[in-house]
Amino acid sequence: MSQILFLELYPIHPCLNFLKLKIMTEQIIYLDNNATTRVAPEVFEAMRPYLTDLYGNPSSAHTLGQRMREVIERAREQVAGLLGATETGEIFFTSCGSESDNWALRGALEGHPEKRHLVTTRVEHEAVRNLCERLERNGYEITWLDVDEEGGLDLEALRAALRPDTAVVSVMLANNETGVLFPIDEIGRIVHENSEAVFHVDAVQAAGKIPIDVSRTAVDLLAISGHKLHAPAGVGALYIRRGTELAPFIIGGKQEGGLRAGTSAVPYIVALGAACELAQNFDGHERVRSLRDKLEDGILNNFERTRLNGTSDRKRRLPNTANISFEYIEGESIMAHLDEQGIYVSTGSACNSGAHVSSPTLRAMNVPYTAAQGSIRFSLGRYNTEEEIDRTLEALPGIINSLALMSPY
């Protein structure tokens, strides 16, 4: 069970400018690892000296600067190691996954102004989806590939979409909401055999959860994010295969080969490196998978009117994710009740999104409206225990039954 410290400040009397500090500890069960992950103690320890005693601008000529340059190169090796990059020079640090995605698409387009066509899918993360919508408004042509009801892609449709003026093909490796995996090996082959397009993979949700090997995959660009694999938010990376034409993203100093200016965020880069090494050495994937399976089976077998969103073929899904709909029940209510019991999940309900739109991913998969409203995403991580899964399975019947009794359907 994870321990979390809640600091609560409240005035004793409204007239008094007097505050009492209330410290309490709460047991929490964190099942929202696709949203963000807890910073691993190993990662924190690795970055800590660079937030305190060790400093210096890596661009400085003095030995402090030189030392920081070495530290960054070490982190680059660690990231390259996780992704299977043959050269560390193919790894570029960014501030986040969204930046990596933006750089990939915009950078590839800039190099070929005559190419005005992109191919992507209807289930991409906002970083790619909203960028493509913006490009569409600005005159680019986008082919939005549909998915089937299990969240899978029609590769023939992809092949048919490729044209001589296709600049970029951008697909995610793992869907953040359902965990459904796209076959990037096959997609990469199809893209390169049938077009001159650059192939970008958004691997933000996959990195650290399943093996990635860019040396054996026809990927040109690949984005990852630190906070999805137990580094803090504020750092990401873009893999750029040697020889891929990509325009710089931030113009300024000579950092990151002159392609991405801005003083290197040494502590964060160190953290990302440490997190990648930690992920590469993680031997608990099967344990996480079996906990997910236990949770998923426990819900699907014991509740009526539930459905799994995403393929039931677990080999084609992330081992940590289960997206389940409780039909005719509002997802935000389920989430809020779980929250009351210290269990943290997320929902694809329109009610819960500020803009009142149900998840585009679930809509693209043709999930019925009443089911999308009741969708709950459970995403596990390395720190979850069997006791936590048992407690979640024990908490759900009371919540679901009371909400079902209240339902007018």
Q: Which is nearer to other proteins, 256 or 327 (CB)?
A: 327
CB of 179 to other proteins, least distance (A): 23
Three-state DSSP state, 47: helix
CB of 167 to other proteins, least distance (A): 37
Listed in order, strand segments (DSSP E) in 137-276 are 141-145, 166-172, 198-202, 221-225, 236-240
In the set 15, 96, 276, 351, the catalytic residue is 351
Which residue type occupies 204? Answer: V
What is the C-alpha to C-alpha distance for residues 343 and 31, in angstroms, rounded to an integer? 7
CB of 11 to other proteins, least distance (A): 15
CB of 324 to other proteins, least distance (A): 17
Residues 124-183 touching other proteins, rule: CB under 8 A, are none
Pick one of 90, 256, 330, 388: the residue that binds other proteins (CB under 8 A).
330
Q: Which is nearer to other proteins, 8 or 114 (CB)?
A: 8
Asked if residue 340 binds other proteins (CB under 8 A), the reply is yes
Burial class (CB in 10 A: 0-12, 13-18, 19+), 151: buried
Which residue type occupies 246? Answer: L
Crossing angle of helices 97-111 and 126-137, in 10° steps, is: 30
Q: Which is nearer to other proteins, 303 or 328 (CB)?
A: 328
CB of 404 to other proteins, least distance (A): 9
Q: Catalytic annotation on 351? A: yes
Q: Which is nearer to other proteins, 29 or 269 (CB)?
A: 29
Pick one of 175, 205, 349, 361: the residue that binds other proteins (CB under 8 A).
349
Pick one of 126, 146, 339, 394: the residue that binds other proteins (CB under 8 A).
339
Residue 197 CB: number of other CB atoms within 10 A?
25
Stretch that binds other proteins, among 209-217, 249-257, 267-275, 322-330 (CB under 8 A): 322-330
Residues 350-409 touching other proteins, rule: CB under 8 A, are 350-352, 354, 356, 358, 369-370, 372-373, 403, 405-409
Q: Return the bridge partners of 198, or none.
A: 168
Pick one of 3, 8, 9, 113: the residue that binds other proteins (CB under 8 A).
8
Q: Which is nearer to other proteins, 36 or 280 (CB)?
A: 36
Interior CA angle at 103 toward 257 and 153, to 5°?
130
Q: Which is nearest to 381 in space by CA: 228, 154, 217?
A: 228
Asked if residue 336 binds other proteins (CB under 8 A), the reply is yes
Q: Return the bridge partners of 223, or none.
A: 202, 238
For 341-390, give the secondary structure using H, E and C: CCEECEECCCCCCCCCCCCHHHHHCCCCHHHHCCEEEEECCCCCCHHHHH
What is the C-alpha to C-alpha distance for residues 135 and 105, in angstroms, rounded to an integer? 10
CB of 393 to other proteins, least distance (A): 21
Report the b/e string of 171-184 with b at 16+ CB within 10 A: bbbbbbbbbbbbeb
Pick one of 46, 270, 329, 362: the residue that binds other proteins (CB under 8 A).
329
Pick one of 328, 360, 363, 395: the residue that binds other proteins (CB under 8 A).
328
Q: Which is nearer to other proteins, 47 or 329 (CB)?
A: 329
Give the interface size with other proteins as a residue count (CB under 8 A).
28
Asked if residue 303 binds other proteins (CB under 8 A), the reply is no
Determine the distance from the C-alpha atom of residue 171 to the mean position of all C-alpha atoms in its chain, rounded to a whole number: 13
What is the C-alpha to C-alpha distance for residues 179 and 319, in angstroms, rounded to an integer? 8
Q: Which residues bind other proteins (CB under 8 A)?
A: 6, 8, 328-330, 332-333, 335-336, 339-340, 349-352, 354, 356, 358, 369-370, 372-373, 403, 405-409
Residues belonging to the active site: 351
